[in-house]
């Protein structure tokens, strides 16, 4: 990670520390329940403790960090039941986005979704679950973008950040990518068909399957 990039204090330092910490948590470099020691993090990122503390407060608001009374901060643990509850919220919001995308996406944007679908099919055939997981994330991101529904997008970004660990675990489960591939291809096909109701149904069916997998 960059050491001491930019100023060590003030707003830029807080933003730098926030971006670095967020990436480390989202990429699994910092594991759930890991202690976040302000002194160590300040040294690692070349900023003051005050900048780290401010960044941790922001991450707490985003649901990525929890502060333990008299013990400082740690990476927040998201239980399976909470992951299910978050996914239930995603069903509503992502269903809305898919319906909007089916109406609003340009032909070029639909071609982009189809290219992702082709790459996902290849990743499954080649037995590359991590590539598949990245493409899965990209597909959902593009559908949200093409929906033009900024409020839903902002809410989903916050919800999805909390599910990173569970997403990777599901991607590595034997047989899971093969099952979810058809669900994702159905999402793409219904958006391509310009059928908002079918697109919403396809997304809900996919996320219902994710909930079932989380509970297994």
The DSSP bridge pattern shows strands 35-36 and 65-68 to be unpaired
The structural architecture, per CATH, of the domain 10-75 is Orthogonal Bundle (1.10)
Separation between Cα atoms, residue 204 and residue 198, nearest integer Å: 10
CB-based contacts of 113, cutoff 8 Å, min separation 6: 105, 139, 142, 143, 146, 188, 191, 192
What CATH code is assigned to 80-215? 1.20.120.530
- 106: DSSP letter: -
pTM, 2 dp? 0.80
Q: Residue 71: pLDDT band by 50, 70, 90 thresholds? A: confident
Separation between Cα atoms, residue 90 and residue 152, nearest integer Å: 9
In which residue ranges of the chain is CATH 1.10.10.10 found? 10-75
In which residue ranges of the chain is CATH 1.20.120.530 found? 80-215
Q: What is the pLDDT of residues 189-208, one digit of tens each?
A: 999 999 999 999 999 999 99
Q: What is the pLDDT of residues 130-157, one digit of tens each?
A: 899 899 999 999 999 999 999 999 999 8
CB-based contacts of 31, cutoff 8 Å, min separation 6: 75
Residue 95 and residue 200 in contact, taking contact as beta carbons nearer than 8 Å: yes
CB-based contacts of 39, cutoff 8 Å, min separation 6: 49
160: tokens are 């999805």
Separation between Cα atoms, residue 60 and residue 213, nearest integer Å: 28
Q: Residue 130's pLDDT is what?
A: 86
Q: What is the pLDDT of residues 16-66, one digit of tens each?
A: 999 999 888 877 788 889 999 999 999 999 999 999 999 999 999 888 999
């Amino acid at each position: 990670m960059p050491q001491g990039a930019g100023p060590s204090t003030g707003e830029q330092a807080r933003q730098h520390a926030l971006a670095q910490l967020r990436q480390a948590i989202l990429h699994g470099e910092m594991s759930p329940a890991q202690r976040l020691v302000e002194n160590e993090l300040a040294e690692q990122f070349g900023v003051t403790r005050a900048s780290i503390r401010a960044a941790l407060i922001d991450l707490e608001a985003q649901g990525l960090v929890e502060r333990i009374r008299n013990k400082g901060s740690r990476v927040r643990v998201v239980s399976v039941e909470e992951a299910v509850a978050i996914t239930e919220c995603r069903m509503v919001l992502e269903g809305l986005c898919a319906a909007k995308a089916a109406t609003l996406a340009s032909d070029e944007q639909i071609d982009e979704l189809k290219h992702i679908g082709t790459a996902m099919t290849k990743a499954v055939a080649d037995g590359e679950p991590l590539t598949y997981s990245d493409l899965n994330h990209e597909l959902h991101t593009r559908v949200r973008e093409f929906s033009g529904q900024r409020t839903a997008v902002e809410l989903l970004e916050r919800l999805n950040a909390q599910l990173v660990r569970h997403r990777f675990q599901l991607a590595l489960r034997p047989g899971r990518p093969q099952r979810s591939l058809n669900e994702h291809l159905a999402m793409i096909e219904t958006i391509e068909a310009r059928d908002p109701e079918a697109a919403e149904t396809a997304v809900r069916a996919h996320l219902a399957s994710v909930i079932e997998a989380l509970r297994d």
